[in-house]
Amino acid sequence: MGSFNTKLVDKLICSKLEGELDAELSNSWIARLEEYEQQADTTLNRFHDVRDINAVHLSFDDLWGLAQRRMHTYEHMGPTRTVFLVSTPLNYGIARMYQALTDGTPFHIEVFYSMEEASEFLQLELEFLQNACL
pTM to 2 decimals? 0.93
Question: pLDDT tens across 19-58, in order?
Answer: 999 999 999 999 999 899 888 888 899 999 999 999 999 9
The residues, ordered by sequence, that sit 6+ positions from 14 with a Cβ below 8 Å of its Cβ are: 6, 7, 8, 46, 47, 49, 132, 133
Question: pLDDT tens across 94-132, in order?
Answer: 999 999 998 878 889 999 999 999 999 999 999 999 999
Domain count, the chain: 1
Do 122 and 94 touch, CB atoms closer than 8 A?
Answer: no
- Which CATH number covers residue 54? 3.40.50.10600
Domain residue limits at 75: 3-133
